[in-house]
């Protein structure tokens, strides 16, 4: 089982629709806890570069940056 889990979703509450990404990491108790969010300054990918229908490109970029993470898309 992966130490990291990534959850991607489309934020429709913003003025314009955009992607959001949460990175969760397994802690010492085996639970996933949030460690990084796409709206933080130190997130390694600029999710603003990906359009509404470019989730496949976003997922590819996340796989390259976090190669061992489990990635899921939330609708």
Structure tokens at 18: 């955009």
Strands (E), the chain: 4-11, 18-26, 32-37, 70-74
Range of the domain at 58: 4-74
Instruction: Name the domain count of the chain.
Output: 1
3-state secondary structure of 59: helix
User: Pairing between strand 4-11 and 70-74?
Assistant: parallel
Kindly report whether the global pTM for this prediction surpasses the value 0.85: yes
Smallest CA-to-CA distance from 73 within 37, 2, 21, 26 is with 21
Task: Please work out, in degrees rounded to the nearest 5, the angle formed at the alpha carbon of residue 58 by the alpha carbons of 5 and 41.
Answer: 75
pLDDT digits (tens, 9 = 90+) for 1-53: 679 999 999 998 867 789 999 999 999 999 999 999 999 999 999 999 999 89
pLDDT digits (tens, 9 = 90+) for 21-34: 999 999 999 999 99
């Amino acid at each position: 089982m992966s130490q990291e889990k990534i959850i991607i979703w489309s934020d429709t509450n913003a003025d314009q629709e955009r992607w959001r990404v949460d990175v969760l990491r397994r802690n010492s108790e085996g639970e996933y806890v949030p460690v990084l969010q796409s709206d933080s300054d130190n997130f390694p990918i600029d999710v603003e570069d990906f359009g509404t229908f470019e989730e496949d490109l976003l997922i590819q970029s996340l796989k390259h940056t976090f190669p061992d993470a489990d990635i899921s898309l939330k609708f």
